[in-house]
Structure 1
Amino acid sequence: MRGIILGLIWLAGASAHADVYISIDAKGGYVLTNVHRPGRHYERVISEPIAKAGPANAQLITGRPYADLVATAARKHDVPQALLHALIKAESGYNPKARSAAGAVGLMQLMPGTAKEMGVEDALDPEDNVLGGARYIKRMLTLFDNDITLAVAAYNAGPDAVLRRGAVPPFAETRRYVPNVLREYRKLQGLAADSPL
């Protein structure tokens, strides 16, 4: 069992911060998470000291590109501004004209199907793109009971990949992406890097 747990911890990524727990799902598979779900037994496999929240890093947020646009989208869709900024930084580095080889475009790198589903008319328009991205991450947060780790994983890998596993999928890109977004989110929230979400 110890070898399996150590292997799962390695899969979770060396840059993971905060407490990590393991549980067994209905099919007997192992699930790593930083959030307790009702009705499951959890065993802590990574323990990080709990850091106290620092002062809000409003200056870091208001000094970012598109700060007003992000603030409006965050209010409209009831998502943290810091999370939107963390996603934008990871997705496009604040480049409104960014395009990926897979076809994602704009600040929040919306795929054409996602953009259409979110009511985005012009994915290269920063306002339209951020509003659509905020709507989409809100949908992911709702789908995953406000588990930010799973919502961010779903933003990158798609919700089906996360739903099938009940955890961050084992894709190399997603395993790098999730800790990077969460680290930036914590920083913008004024939290230490190892603070629980």
Structure 2
Amino acid sequence: MTQRRSKKSSSRLHSEHSPSFFVALFVILVLVGIIIFRLVLPQSSPSELLSNNKIIINDCQTIAPPFISVEEGQTITFVNKDRGDHTVYLGGVTIIVPRGESRTVEAKFSEGAGTYAYDCDSVRNVAQVSVAGLNDDELGGTIIVHRTFQEFYDRSSVGIQNCLRFALQDVFEEAYSDSSYRPTNDEAMRINQCFAEVP
């Protein structure tokens, strides 16, 4: 008699935890998770979904990231986290970014592909956007064109060139000849100083 009861109770336990029960429980948990996820996370605007190329302006001396590479035609979003409005000049384009807001621009600049330094409220920054453009070569393939530190230096005034040579004296030759050169934080501060001091 006791054996019959135990068989009935064990079969009842198995029927309560059938595979369809676990599937239903899983579906419910997933739906609850999706609802919580949508309520907790802020909704992204269409411009944010188009581009992860975000540049944060804490003030005109600290713009992050210091370097960003994008394909020509992609979007770049400037986010102003400072207490005041800022005007950013980038590749011949003027972008006014009000306090606490963001502005998105398309990476199509008058000078084409290259590496562009920011000019924020007339403070020249070493932070740069490298815009890669695709140009057909004679073999029918493509080459990616970037502006290097050398090109950036060659386009600067004589006063700024002299200051840059002095500021980077220990690494200047490397910076000038190495197309992949990126300054350290200390070098970036010295370069910024050149643009702040030299007219």
TM-score, length basis structure 1: 0.26
User: TM-score w.r.t. structure 2 length?
Assistant: 0.26
Quick check: which has more Rg, 1 or 2? 2
Which has the larger strand fraction? 2
